[in-house]
Structure 1
Amino acid sequence: MLRLSSVWIILISWNLLAFARSLDDDDKTIGDLCFLCRCNLDKTDIDCSRRGLTDIPNGLGLQVTKLNISNNEFTKFPESLSRLHNLVNLDISSNQLKGLPDNALYNLTALVVLNLSRNYFDSWLNLNPNDVLLPATHLKILDLSYNKFQTMGNLANQELLISPSLETLILDHCEINSIHGRSPLSGLINIRVLKLNFNPLLRIQNLISSSLRSLFVSNCELTTLNHNELMFLPSLTHLKMSNNYRLELASSANNLFSQSLKYIDISYCNILQPNLKGFPSLRKAILNHNMVRYLESNAFANNTELEYLDLSNNNIASLRYDTFRGLKMLKHLDLSWNEIAVIPEDSLLEMPSLTQLKLSRNYLSRVGHLRSMSVTILDMSSCELNTIGKDSLEGLQSIVELDLSQNLLSYIPDSISSNTLKYLNLNYNRISSINNLTFFMLNRLTSLSVVGNRFTMIWRRSFFDSNPYLERLDLSDNMWRCDCSDENMRDFYDFVTLEPNKKEESFNLICNSPANVNTQTWLEACYFTWNPTEKTANADTLIWFIVVMIIGLSLCIILVSGIRSSMKRRLAAIQAERERQVEEARDRLRQMRIRAEQEALCNTPDPRDLIAPPSYDEALSMPKLNVSCHSLNETGSGKTRRKRGRRKTKSSGDLLEETDRNGDAPVYDDLELTETQEEDRQRRRRRRNRRYGSHEIAELDQSPGARRRRMSEYIVENDDSVIVEVQAQLERPLRPRNRRYSIDDNDVRESDF
């Protein structure tokens, strides 16, 4: 039993040790992975995009839920991804994939988003569409955009994508030019969204799906749609066909029909008539930037649930009183940027729920007697309005915000009335005056803006006695005339700019006249007029300020001059110290140079010692001596040396000639081989020049050797106690030479020279 227990303990410890080592290895590999890629704290989100990878890096843990390996160089779908069973989001876009194996998504049961866009797919068969999506049982979004499938027409069974869970299929920029034959959505039983934007599609045929809710075919080349195209999409609620520049809708009411459609966008097309009668459930319709020229009576009678209608940027010239009949749920109507000149007074009553009406950028000349029980926001800016009636707002019983900016209004009638108006925008008109009755009937007015008008006279506080809720006044960019002596100006200034009921910033109130205060604020122009006591006090303050400034400047000048003088003295002392140091350095250099010259004079070798001995050929050409060669090293007397002088060594040819001429042995004038050599050797004499072969050293008078010789002569002539015998030594060893020996050892050899 003890043995069994010990064995079990050993096995358990071994397994624990192996598990710990595996954890250490995993931590190490994960650390290396996070050094290469970006990881979050818990290592569940890995971003390895733009790393030039061709395979999955090591270290991916099983806890990874989001992996981005886009913008790399993958040519095959990585097989190692199959072990990441917790992966939810996989982005492998912008690579070089040309196909997918049928088991590419094996074991990826948790995968929800798969991005395969911007690869090299050019055929549906390369995807193995029948099998590749089946293992991913929770896949919801598949992005195949920016590939080159080119067609979705007449797809065979093996070319159909099959996935029971896929809800969104993105095929933008795939060069698809047709959809016909068998429906490509028949294998996607739960498809919700299909995007085919930016494809050269001409027609859509036989697109069948009972679950499709959103269809996007914008920026294509659609020209027309059959009346039954949307009938095979019974769940379709969202249709966007914008930017199809040749798309037209026929005038027939049965041209296009969908019982379920709630949102349609056919902007930037070639629509001449809205023709939305085939969509009874429609909630929002966008038809801007088309070619609609007129609206028929009861044009929207069948759209009883329509809430948002955008007809802006068309060519609509007129409206009929029954054009919008039947739009009982409409809340937003945009008719801006058209050519409407007149709006029937009762046309808005057909829309009892309308709250926002945009009529800007039309050709309306006057604010008519519009009637509406529900409109709260009315935009009539930039419409060339020049007249506004006294009772123009009485028919708009719920109006809250009115925009009349950028028009040609020159005045506002007195007692214009509205019990609900809060925001009135009169910017950039031609209004020049108001009075205390202008806004008398606007008792709910909260904000008034008159920027960029032609007001010159300062308003009065009494103009707004009947507007207790006024909180904002925009008065900038007007031609105010500032009469500072007028008490009304200061009173109105306080009313507008002071707390607690501040209505305008003081820097927005700019004077335009008289000329001496032009471009100044009201406060800058009138401060001393409104505060005369401070003006007199300011004169004394100015005088004292000038005196203090003069004294301060004087002190500053004195201080600066003192600092400059002290700096000059300090600079002079520094300069003198520097010159002294330079002079000392020069003296030291001069002494060192003299000492070096003396040492060089004493240590300089005699140039004669540097002459190499004669070569073998030169030695052969030299004459033989009758006496011993030891006499050549002896020093002759100065007298003898002076008598002899210098002359060239005669060559062998000259010696022969002289021998022939004298009939005797050669004569050597430069060597005195006499019996007096022993006597002369005992006397003090100068050292003679040494000659080697045909070479002779000619010394200059100013050379170190000449100077040293003269010094030695002087010493020899004045001192008889010491005789120095100097022998020449070569600085480098002589190269070995073949010596020629005579028969008799006592004879003088040529090598002795």
Structure 2
Amino acid sequence: MFKLSYYLTITLLLYSATLTSALNCPQNCKCLWVLDSLSVDCSRKGLTVYPSFSDLPIDHLDLSGNNFDHFPTQLADIESLVYLDLSNNNITHVEANALLGFTALRVLLLANNSFSNWLDLNPSVAFRNAISLKHLSLSGNNLQIFTGYKTEKTLVSETLTDLELANCGITTVGGDHLINGLPSLDRLVLSGNALITLNNIPSATLRVLELSNCSLLRVPAALIESLPNLETLNVSWNFALEFKDPLISETLLELDASFCNLDGVNLSGFPSLARARLRGNMLRTLDEYTFANNSQLQTVDLARNSIRNIQPDAFIKLKHLTTLDLSYNEIARLDKNLFRANDVLVSLNLSRNVMEKFTKLVSNSLREINFSGCEVIAIDSNALTGLSVLQRLDLSKTLIKEFPANMRSETLQKLDLSNCKLTGVRNSTFSGFPELAWLLLNGNRFTNPIPASYFRLNHYLDAIWLSDNPWICDCHDITFIDFYDYLTAPPQKLKDRSNLRCASPAQFYGKTWESACGSIWIPNGHTSKAEKAWTVIMFSLLAAGAGFLVVSLLKKYIKHRKRRRDRDEYRQNRDEMMEIREQNQRMLEDTGTPNAPSPYETNLPSYEDAIRMPKLERPIKSMVDLTESGHMRRTKLRRSQTNPDGDMEDGDLMLDDRQRFRSEEMLSNRVKERTANIMPFARTGYVEYSNSRSRRLSAEGTRFPAAHLKSQNLQSAEKIANFQGYEHSPYTKRRPKVAEIPPFKRATMRTDSVEFLTDPEYEDHSKPGSPFARRKPKSPTTPSCAVSPVTSRPLAPAVEDYFGGTPKARVSSSDDSDFQLVVEPEISSIAELHNTSSSGGGAGEASANLERGRRKKRLNSTSRRASGSFTAAAAAAAADETSSSSSDREPIVVVHKPMRETLF
């Protein structure tokens, strides 16, 4: 049990220290948690500046006993403040808005400050702002009056219930300010004021009025009548007070008229009185008229009077009397039937009276009787027979020399015979008290030990006091040893063991029984060495327990600290990872094409998305154009813009053999790969990425692509597995068919249709294997205004021979440029054409047919997408190359050379 309490104490101290350190308590204050409320004590520190409480959730704040000279308005920020003690300071003034914001404040103590009058408090305005104020103490200030005759000096508070104005130098009381200014007042304290006059102070809510030590001479009857709900009236310590006027109050429950030197009292005007304190007066006699009209009295205190005579019928009408105090009077004897009619009387105090004999009393309700300090020298043997329920009897400090042997009480539990003159007891002294539990025999004159057999019938005796007696310690006396064993045998009955000392023989004077006879009582007692050994063992156990507790706390602290450090590190790593992930995501979003589909989507874009996707800057010529980086593409574009007349066979159109072969192979095998069944195969290689982010297998001994490339329709697994090199590709033996496009003379800006390739006007200079060689050219219908054709030369083939030799260098001429000049006659309008046809006959009709064919060609070419970029620059005049000498000038049309295409 001790170990458990020790652990609990240590735990509470550590917990309190932790809370105090966590609360950041001010330097000169003490912070203490009481249940769930925080109490801060800064009292009696001599402070002149209010401490800073930051954000502490304070409920009770004590700032008393310091040197503050102004009201702390800054404390309004503490929303939980309920109790504020500013008493015993030097505060001289309270501003009108000083309590603004103290919404939770209930108790405000401003006692013993330096307020000189009511105006320093601004009573009519200041306390209205404290909307929850219940208790206000202004005691110890020089306020002089308490009246409602002046508005500015009237205290106003709608919620105030308790007002203390003790020792305020008030000499005048009166007015109706309790009704007007304090409509909820319940308790008013005016004690300690030198009240010369006491006028009416009407109040419908006042229940407690304290006027003690006010030098009152009388209590006006009108004052009591103006308080219809008065329940408690305290007029004690008014030494010259007299009840001359008949006081009447139907609601008064408690009256305190102690120490008023009253020689007579009339309580007939208080029929509801329940508690009457009349101690310290000069009452001498109690008769049947004293409490004739107070049948509801429960507690009557008549101590420290001069009562000598008590009539037998003095308490006969007090049917509800429970406690009666007649101590410190001059009562010599009591009638045995004095309390027979008081059926609920429980406690009777007759101490410090002059009774010399304890005689029989009859009561069926008395449980406690106190005769302490009386001059009792004899006790009747039948004194307890009339007390059927007596439990505690106090006969201490009397002059009893011998306790009767034949006294009996079946209910007595505590018997106090201490500090009497008893020298011994008999074997039947306590045998008549079977319920006796506590027995006090200390302070008597016992010398010889009491045989243990005298207590054989007291089975419930568990506490005995025997100290302060002149015991003769005969260590070899069997009775002495048996008595000591009876007192100390578990459960131990001796309660003052350390004060049980020997008075003789001389060598044992002042020693305890154990130290005097311990060496002799080894079989029956405990040696000092054994006690020391047990003491050492107990202290060792306590030290071990304390050490174990400290080690456990340290281990737990270290483990908790490590866990917290790991948790912080994990949280930090997670935050860094999330930050890196967000940064990568932002980079992907920033570098991506604005309207490009999500990289996580595998479906093709919809038609609307495709329309919104960015368009190519220029037509692509091969797969290499799509895979080139932005820098290389911009370099070629710039080079083509600065040199528009350059040769078509330069580096712009030259493709690397390996890249050309890769593009050709992918395009040719795409249909087969979509339908091929992909079987599982071993993956022995890895995928490399070029600068243009295109995938390709590593060339270092690898034959198979990565697994994730199977779903991208590149090449079937079978062909990839049998692939051994580019030189063994089946496409190396294939020779593409090349169709040479004849030169053309007449064309528009949109001549990318198929018609111009099959125009029969031009001569067929293609190879014999070309599909155009078998076509029969149409017989041209030459108009009358036909222009002489330009000297025709064979153009470069439309399909490049990737496996042929290097083309020979061509001589630069005007026809080798990127653009050719085509001259045709100018016909201003259809009307002119019609006129011409009408005049020309059959030749005009042929011209009209030719014109309709040309318009049809232009209409078909506008519906197709241009295959190249055209530059709107005008070409040089070709007048020297034409054979016509007509003055009519034909329009110049710039036409890009036809683009070569690979036909598969």
TM exceeding 0.5:
yes
Aligned counterpart, 2:335 = 344
Q: What's the CA shift string for 1:463-514, capped at 9, x where partnerless?
A: 2222222222323333444555654333333223333464466655544455
CA-CA distance at 1:391 after TM superposition = 0.5
Q: Secondary structure at the match of 2:180?
A: coil
> Where does residue 205 of structure 1 map in the other structure?
199
Aligned: 1:238 with 2:232: yes
Structure 2 length as normaliser, TM-score? 0.50
Moved more, 361-370 or 210-219: 210-219
Q: 2:299 aligns with which of 302, 308, 311?
A: 308
Q: Distance in 2 between matches of 1:461 and 1:59?
A: 66
Q: Is 1:377 equivalent to 2:368 in the alignment?
A: yes
Q: Of residues 422, 441, 451 in structure 1, which corresponds to 2:432?
A: 441
Indicate conservation of the 8 Å contact 1:472/1:504, yes or no: yes
Correspondence 1:189 to 2:189: no
Amino acid at match of 1:395: G
User: Are the equivalent residues in 2 in contact too, given 1:432–1:453 (CA < 8 A)?
Assistant: yes
Aligned residue for 1:365? 356
Question: Would you say the 8 A contact 1:496–1:503 is kept in 2?
Answer: yes
Corresponding letter in the other structure for 1:325: I
C-alpha displacement of 1:344? 1.1
Provide structure 2 residue ranges, at least 5 long, that are not aligned to the other structure.
1-22, 526-904
The equivalent position to 1:150 in structure 2, one of 144, 147, 163, is 144
- 2:479 corresponds to: 488
Q: CA deviation at 1:440?
A: 2.5
**Which residue in the other structure is 1:112 paired with?**
106
The corresponding residue for 2:382 is 391
- For the residue of structure 2 that corresponds to 1:418, the secondary structure is coil
5 Å-filtered alignment, 1:123-202, equals 123-153=117-147, 155-202=149-196
**311, 317, 335: which one aligns with 1:320:** 311
SS in 2 for 1:330: coil
Name the counterpart of 2:213: 219
Contact 1:267 1:290 in 2 (8 A): yes
Structure 1 CA distance, aligned partners of 2:314 and 2:127? Answer: 51
d(CA) in 1 for partners of 2:483, 2:124: 81
Q: Report the secondary structure of 1:348's partner residue.
A: coil
Question: Would you say the 8 A contact 1:496–1:504 is kept in 2?
Answer: no
Q: In 2 relative to 1, CA 429–91 (structure 1 residues): closer, same or farther, beyond 3 Å?
A: closer
- 1:650-709: CA deviations, max 9, x gaps? xxxxxxxxxxxxxxxxxxxxxxxxxxxxxxxxxxxxxxxxxxxxxxxxxxxxxxxxxxxx
CA–CA distance in 2 between the matches of 1:201 and 1:248?
A: 15
Alignment match, 1:476: 467
Check whether the contact 1:186–1:209 (CA below 8 A) recurs between aligned residues: no
- CA-to-partner distance for each residue in 1:492-546, whole Å, 9 max, x for gaps? 3322333346446665554445556555555666667777999xxxxxxxxxxxx
Query: How far 1:100 sits from its partner (Å)?
Result: 4.4
> In structure 2, what is the Cα distance between the partners aligned to 1:512 and 1:45?
54
How far the C-alpha of 1:365 sits from its partner, in A, is 0.5
In structure 2, the residue matched to 1:52 is 48
- Which amino acid is the alignment partner of residue 332 of structure 2? A
Separation (CA, whole Å) in 1 of partners of 2:53 and 2:430: 75
Provide the C-alpha distance between the structure 2 equivalents of 1:57 and 1:370, rounded to a whole number of angstroms.
Answer: 65
From 396, 399, 417, the counterpart of 1:405: 396
Task: State the Cα distance separating 1:224 from its structure 2 match.
Answer: 1.3
**CA–CA distance in 1 between the matches of 2:301 and 2:174?**
32
- Show the 5 A alignment for 1:281-300: 281-300=272-291
Task: Give the alignment's TM-score, normalised by structure 1.
Answer: 0.59
Cα deviation, 1:557-607, whole Å, max 9, x if unaligned, reads xxxxxxxxxxxxxxxxxxxxxxxxxxxxxxxxxxxxxxxxxxxxxxxxxxx
For 1:387, give the aligned amino acid: A
Mapping of residues 79-98 of structure 1, within 5 Å: 88-90=82-84
Alignment of 1:121 onto 2:115: yes
Identity among equivalent pairs (%): 37
Deviation at 1:204, TM superposition (A): 2.6
CA–CA separation in structure 2 for the residues paired with 1:37 and 1:338? 50
Task: Give SS of 2:439's match.
Answer: strand
SS of the residue 1:133 aligns to: helix
Q: Within 2, Cα distance between the matches of 1:79 and 1:380?
A: 58
- Give 3-state SS (helix, strand or coil) of 2:339's partner: helix
Q: Counterparts of 1:482 and 1:106 in 2: how far apart (Å)? A: 76
Change (3 A) 1:438 1:188: same
In structure 2, C-alpha distance between the alignment counterparts of 1:83 and 1:520, rounded to whole Å: 65
Contact kept? 1:228, 1:257, Cα under 8 Å: no
Is the 1:245–1:270 Cα contact (8 Å) retained in structure 2? yes
Q: Distance in 2 between matches of 1:379 and 1:329?
A: 21
Looking at CA atoms only, which structure, 1 or 2, has the larger radius of gyration?
2
1:247 is matched with 241
Residues matched between the structures, number: 499
Contact 1:230 1:257 in 2 (8 A): yes
Name the structure 2 match of 1:648: none
Q: Structure 1: where are the runs of 5+ without partners?
A: 1-30, 535-753
SS at match of 1:488: helix
Distance 2:53 2:401 in 1: 77
2:39–2:58: 8 Å Cα contact kept in structure 1?
yes
Q: Distance in 2 between matches of 1:516 and 1:58?
A: 66
Which residues in structure 2 correspond to 1:541-580 (within 5 Å)? none
Partner Cα separation in structure 2 for residue 152 and residue 60 of structure 1: 39
Q: How far did residue 51 of structure 1 move? A: 3.7
Range that drifts further, 338-347 or 408-417? 408-417
Are 2:298 and 2:322, in contact at CA under 8 Å, matched by a contact in 1?
yes
Partner of 1:428 in structure 2?
Answer: 419
- What are the superposed Cα offsets for residues 171-222 of structure 1, whole Å, 9 maximum, x if unpaired? 1221001213445553210011212122112343202111112222223212
After TM superposition, list the pairs within 5 Å mapping 1:619-698 onto structure 2: none
| Equivalent residues of 1:44, 1:63 under 8 A apart | no
Does the CA-based 8 Å contact 1:403-1:425 persist in structure 2? yes
